Structure 1
Amino acid sequence: MKYQKVHKPVDEREKLRKFRELDDAFAQALRQLEDPDSDFDIPTGPPVRSLAALEKDDVEAKQKERQQELDIAFKQRFEALLSAYGLTHYDLAELTETLLSYGLWRQDEVPGNQQP
């Protein structure tokens, strides 16, 4: 047989006293919230962000990921071209410097789009 605790009936005066204490504490908390000079620290969660901001972040993250994929693909193609022509990075830098120094290629010009 289980033991059942017998609850003592709470006196009505005691109930009223507890209610008043709770009511006073609640009123004090409200006053602190309304006081602009109060240093009452209210625990809050992370800031709420709008759906538009979340979607914007998602689009930016996808663009960044896509750009990283393009960068990797470019580097792979670039290395493959250097390898196919038997060039090193140093050889390419030397060729570029030579073309620039003789005026055969301007720095702001895209190769293959030279004007006659």
Structure 2
Amino acid sequence: MDEREKLRKFRELDDAFAQALRELEKPNSRLNIPTGPPVRSLAEREAEEQQQREQAFRQRLESLMKEYAQPTESVAHLLRTMRSLGHIA
């Protein structure tokens, strides 16, 4: 692409941008501006990730309980003991 063609395309883009700005400045402007998907807050994403980690932990724990034939009460007692000793938060 030669320099003239580049300059022409730049001017077209500049004109289109200037026109869009003028439209935005008009009172009662009804431009249909695409906004994309809604933006989730960081806190929402972190909460969702935490929930997924907890679900994965529960599934893994249940799987291990079945594999080693351990009842819920026994595992609950083990977890309480570990927590009291400071091994888990």
Taking structure 1 as the reference length, the TM-score comes to 0.37
Larger helix share, 1 or 2:
2
Question: Relative contact order (alpha carbons < 8 A, sep ≥ 6): 1 or 2 greater?
Answer: 2
Rg bigger for which structure? 1
Give the TM-score of the pair, scaled to structure 2: 0.45
